[in-house]
């Protein structure tokens, strides 16, 4: 997926054609309309605040490194009760990007045509075309990944919602009998 193709409520096109050696500091403070769009995009009840602080810096010969944080306060619906659940997001942003025509991107890091990936290490570089990168859309990707997909109101369990699925309750009964609980 190329970042230039993404449409983000918090888009910020950074010109990476002439980056300063120290990098370019980008701060995105979402306004009310952008926060409403983010909430809609990520199926949230609301986004109270959203701020991304990013450093867009040269990497290797013609690549770009984007690093920083995205911090947000959001409200989601509890998956059990649908009551509002507030959450705080403070997520690091780390990405390496290479131009489409980069030899490094085609040949891999070891120069032999293979890129060795470490599951715990950084992601492999993504590519971009032209001389701009939507760093706002990139930060939004990290924001989206940090959102709890199954938010629960404190103290609420799935059993508290009652048995809505007969197959599930039958499974729970068998599990209890196997565990010796009645």
Claim to verify: residue 172 and residue 87 sit in the same structural domain: no
Claim to verify: residue 64 and residue 118 sit in the same structural domain: yes
Claim to verify: residue 146 and residue 164 sit in the same structural domain: no
**pTM of the entire structure?**
0.74
What Cα–Cα distance (Å) separates residue 177 from each residue in 73, 168, 180?
Answer: 43, 14, 5
Claim to verify: residue 111 and residue 169 sit in the same structural domain: no
Greatest alpha-carbon span in the chain: 69
CA 159/CA 156 separation, integer angstroms: 8
Residues 6+ apart with CB under 8 A from 142: 70, 91, 92, 93
pLDDT of the chain along its 182 residues, tens only? Answer: 344 444 799 999 999 988 998 999 999 999 999 999 999 999 999 999 999 999 999 998 889 999 999 999 999 999 999 999 999 999 999 999 998 876 655 444 444 455 555 565 556 778 888 889 999 999 999 999 999 999 988 887 766 444 445 455 566 666 666 776 65
Range of the domain at 116: 3-151
In total, how many domains does the chain have? 2
3-state secondary structure 67-93: EEEEEEEEEEECCCCCCEEEEEEEEEE
Q: What is the pLDDT of residue 171?
A: 63
Q: What is the pLDDT of residue 6?
A: 47
CA 15 to chain centre: 22
């Amino acid at each position: 997926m190329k970042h230039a193709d993404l449409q983000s409520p918090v888009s910020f096109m950074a010109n990476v054609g002439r980056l300063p050696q120290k990098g370019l500091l980008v701060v995105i403070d979402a306004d009310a309309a952008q926060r409403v769009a983010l909430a809609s995009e990520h199926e949230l009840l609301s986004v109270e605040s959203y701020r991304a602080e990013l450093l867009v810096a040269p990497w290797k010969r013609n690549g770009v490194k984007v690093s920083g944080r995205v911090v947000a306060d959001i409200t989601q619906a509890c998956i059990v009760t649908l009551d509002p659940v507030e959450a705080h997001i403070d997520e690091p942003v780390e990405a390496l990007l290479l131009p489409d025509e980069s030899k490094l991107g085609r040949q891999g890091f070891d120069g032999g045509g293979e890129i060795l990936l470490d599951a715990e290490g950084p992601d492999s570089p993504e590519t971009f075309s032209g001389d701009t990168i939507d760093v706002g859309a990139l930060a939004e990707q990290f924001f989206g990944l940090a959102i709890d997909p199954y938010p629960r109101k404190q103290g609420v369990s799935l059993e508290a919602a009652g048995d809505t699925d007969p197959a599930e309750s039958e499974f729970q009964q068998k599990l209890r009998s196997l565990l010796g609980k009645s």
